[in-house]
Amino acid sequence: MSSTSTAFQLHSSVTSFVSTTRKMLIGKDWVESVSGKSFPVYDPATGELLATVTEGDKEDINRAVKAAREAFDSGPWSKMTASERGRLIWRLADLLEKHTEEFAQLESLDNGKPLAVARAADVPLAVDLFRYMAGWATKIEGTTIPISVPYTPGAEYLAYTKREPVGVVGQIIPWNFPLLMAVWKLGPALATGCTVVLKPAEQTPLTALLLGELILEAGFPAGVVNIVPGYGETAGAALAAHPDVDKVAFTGSTEVGKLIVQAAAGNLKKVTLELGGKSPNIVLNDADVELAIQGAANAIFFNHGQCCAAGSRLYAHQNVYDKVVEGVATIADKIRVGAGLDPSTEMGPLVSEEQLRRVCGYIESGKGDGAKAVAGGERLGDKGYFVKPTILTDVKQNMKVVQEEIFGPVVTAMPFKDVEEIIPVANDTVYGLAAGIWTSDLSKAHKIASHLRAGTVWINCYNIFDAALPFGGYKQSGWGREMGRDALDLYTEVKSVCIRL
C-alpha cells in the first residue's frame, strides 16, 4: 500500500487552488464567511491537512438565499429564454470537459478515489449530465386540456398548463461523488430556470467550489448559483429551514433526510431526498457465474462501497454460492488499495476518520454476531483511512451488518434455495434504492424485477448510471428521482391557465 499523495505531480492550478483559503460564492463574488471562520479539509490518504475553506453559517446562508431570491425574482435569469439557458448549461459542460484533469485530480485528492476513476467516470458523467439537461431547457412543456365544466353549460374555454420553475432551491450534497452530486442537482435546477444555494459536504467541498469558477466563466448571471461550504448542523440546517427557499434537494443519510423533512415543514417547501440503501444482489443458479462474480465485486467495491446503491447484500443460489463467494474473495484480496493519486491504486481510502471508525465498527459488530470475514475484515495500515475489501459470510438476515447501511467495502453473503424464497428476503429492508439480478433466464429476471421494491434494478450488470435514466428510492431510500425527465418535474410547478372564450 502506498499512502502518499505527494509523489504525484499535481496540475499547477490544483496546487494553487488548495494553497489559499477557499471562499464562498454569493451573487457573483467570492467572499469570506460573516463570522470570519474557516474549516480544515483533510487528505484521506494521509489524514493531513489538504486545504482550508471559509465556513458558511446561518448568516451566510441568509446572504446566499437573498442573492438567489433576487436572481430568481428580478434578475436577468428570470427573463432569459429557454434556449439561452440551455446554451449556458452547454457552455458549462464544455468548460468542465476542458478542465477534466484538474477536476479529476482535485476530486481524487479530496475524496480519496482513484484518479483514473475520477477521470473516466466522475467528470465525464458530470459533463454528460449537463449536456443532457441543456437539451431539456427548451423542452419543458405543458399541455392543452379539453375542459367541460358541467355547471357553465354552453361556455367555451381554452385551458392549458405551464411548467414553471419551483423557485429558489437549496441543495445539500454528500462527499462520495462530490462533483457529480453537485451536477446531478444543478443540472435540472438550471434547465428549468430555478436559482440555487448549494451546500457541499464539509469533507469534500473543493470541486464544487472549483465548479463555481466555471459557472461564472460560462456567464451565468449573478445569484443563479451560490455555493456555501460549511457543516450540516449549521449551514445545512439553516438552508433546509429557510423560509425563502422553495425547495430543498438532499442527498445523504436517511437520518439527516428525516431532519430535512422536519426543517422543511416550517414553510412547507418542496422536498426531494436521495438517501441510503442496502441493496440486494441476487445470483441465480443459471447465471454466467464468472460475470456474476465480477459484477458482485464491482457492485460493492466500486467507490470503496461508498455508494448509496452499493450491492451490499449478496444472495447466491446454493449451487453456485461457494464458487461466487470464493470468486469475490479472490478479487477482494487482489484489489490494490492505496492513495487515489497513485497510478497503481484500484481502491482508495474511505473519505474520513469518522467513516473509517464507522465501517470498522460494523465489521466488528458482524464478527461479534458470528459472521466470518473470508476476505479483509480489518483496517489496512495505520495512516490514512484505508479498509481492506471485506466479505462476511455466516451472516443472518437480522444481523446489523445485513440490515444497516455500512457505506464501505463490506459485503455480506448468504445462500438461498429457490427464487420464491429470496424475493421477500431481498425486500426485507427499510431501504429500496437498487437491486441486482444475475441470470441467463431473462423471463425470470423480468418477473423478479417486478417484485423487487427498489428504484433501480440492474440485470446482468450493476452500477450503470446515465443522465437519461431516473435514479432514486422506494421506501426509506428517498422521495423523488434524480436524472432523466423525472428529475425535471420535481423542479417545476404546474400552473393551470383557464380562459373563457
For ligand NAI, the binding residues (CB under 6 A) are: 172-174, 176, 199, 201-202, 231-233, 236-237, 240, 251-253, 256, 259-260, 274-276, 308, 358, 405, 407
CA atoms within 13 A on the CB side of 480: 24
Which residue's C-alpha cell is 460494523?
362
* Burial status of residue 299 (CB atoms within 10 A of its CB: 0-12, 13-18, 19 or more): buried
**Residue closer to ligand NAI, measured from CB, 201 or 249:** 201
**Which three cell numbers mark 406?**
455500512
Q: How far is the CB of 47 from ligand NAI (least distance, A)?
A: 17
Which residue number, 136 or 250, has a Cβ lying nearer to ligand NAI?
250
Q: In this complex, which beta carbon is closest to ligand NAI, that of residue 234 or of residue 492?
A: 234
Q: Where are the beta strands (DSSP E) in 184-279?
A: 195-199, 225-227, 247-251, 270-274
What 3-state class would DSSP assign to 447? helix
Shortest CB 351 distance to ligand NAI, Å:
8
**Active-site residue, from 55, 202, 274, 482:** 274
Instruction: Evaluate the CA torsion angle 174, 257, 472, 214 in order and state its sign.
Output: negative
In 3D, which of 315, 319, 277 has the Cα closest to residue 296? 315
| DSSP per-residue string spanning 54-90 | E---HHHHHHHHHHHHHHHHTSHHHH--HHHHHHHHH
Closer Cβ to ligand NAI, 85 or 199, answer by number: 199
**CB 6 → ligand NAI: shortest distance, Å?**
26
Of the residues 194, 307, 308, 360, only one is catalytic, namely: 308
Q: Rounded to the nearest whole angstrom, what is the least distance from the CB of residue 81 to ligand NAI in the complex?
A: 33
Whichever of 174 and 415 has its CB closer to ligand NAI, that residue is: 174
User: Which residue, 312 or 492, has its beta carbon nearer to ligand NAI?
Assistant: 312
291 burial level (CB within 10 Å; 0-12, 13-18, 19+): middle
Round to whole Å and give the CA distance between 292 and 296.
6
Q: Which residue is nearest to ligand NAI (CB)?
A: 232
Give the Å distances, CA to CA, from 431 to 44, 95, 295, 300, 451: 28, 37, 21, 16, 15
Taking phi over 0 as left and psi of -120 to 50 as alpha, with beta for the rest, 243 belongs to alpha
Smallest gap from residue 231 Cβ to ligand NAI (A): 6
As a whole number of angstroms, the distance between CA 491 and CA 189 comes to 6
Give yes or no for a contact between 479 and 248, defined as CB atoms under 8 angstroms apart. no
CB of 350 vs ligand NAI, minimal distance in Å: 9
Active site residue 274: yes
Active-site residue list: 274, 308
